[in-house]
Structure 1
Amino acid sequence: MRKIEHYRKRLRLPFYDYSQYGCYFVTICTKDRQMVFGEVIDGEMKLNHFGKMMREALFSVLDNYRNSEISEYVIMPNHLHFIWFNQDDVNLSIVIKKIKGMMTHLYREYHKTQGLSYLPLWQRGFYEHIIRNDKDYERIVEYIENNPIQWHLDRFYTL
């Protein structure tokens, strides 16, 4: 019998130092694209209770990294995009782990207090893009700003 090996595509550049000073465009998705954070109505994202928790979790990471910034962000029904301006020499994976961990804690606690069963919240991993110049930054800012307006065209859109 032949052994089947599972290969998971590496998402990060193998020799890049993700703790160095710079800007990163990050996307984090919910598991199975669950619509957790609210809904888009007339091209505008309306955050629900969990969406507001997500915003709290996202910005809570700045308590640990006071020199860094989240310059742009959007929370969508089943994912979020943000630009992380790393000025604290912290590895991007650690930042994402803290954000996901904080939201998972808030989400799990809410379910516990309501007597609801908890389902995993996050898709494994995250997507990142190293922002290389001003033109790249402006393109990404425009994408983030227009994400709710173009929700029906988004690759993360599900009914």
Structure 2
Amino acid sequence: MSGTKPGTTVRIRLTDSPISRLGYWWATAVGFTWGFIWSTGPIRRRNGLIVFTGMPNWTFGRGGSCVGGCYLTGANDGDRVLGHEAVHREQWRRYGMLFPLLYLIAGRDPLRNRFEIEAGLEAGGYLPRGSAPRRATPRPGRASSTP
């Protein structure tokens, strides 16, 4: 590279960066296309999300899926769940196309998945309303922080 000293490294920031936002917009385009093809219900904008309802069950995971700025669901579109999904939208914005990989690494158990915990387990329908938040249980072979 011209203008840099020998031995100088160029750091590319992958989160909260133009690169992650480009990934967010790509994912949004994919989610929009998928939702446009399969949605049979109203399509509207709520909580900063483009919400596609009336989707066949096989086109999304669990009660619904956030892909970029799109939320794909059959009919699970209440205010509480949309608040939860709006947090996932922000996670997409922060991590871009790294988000699906990081989510996979965090695990399928929503009670241990840091992204689901951040979005709110109760609002996401993973805990009954009014229940106390669950604390992460120690993994086998690790010392517990409580006596």
- Give TM-score scaled by structure 1 length: 0.26
Which protein is bigger by CA-based radius of gyration? 2
Query: Hey, which of these two has a bigger chunk of strand by percent?
Result: 1
Q: Which has the higher contact order (CA 8 A, sep 6+)?
A: 1
- Give TM-score scaled by structure 2 length: 0.28
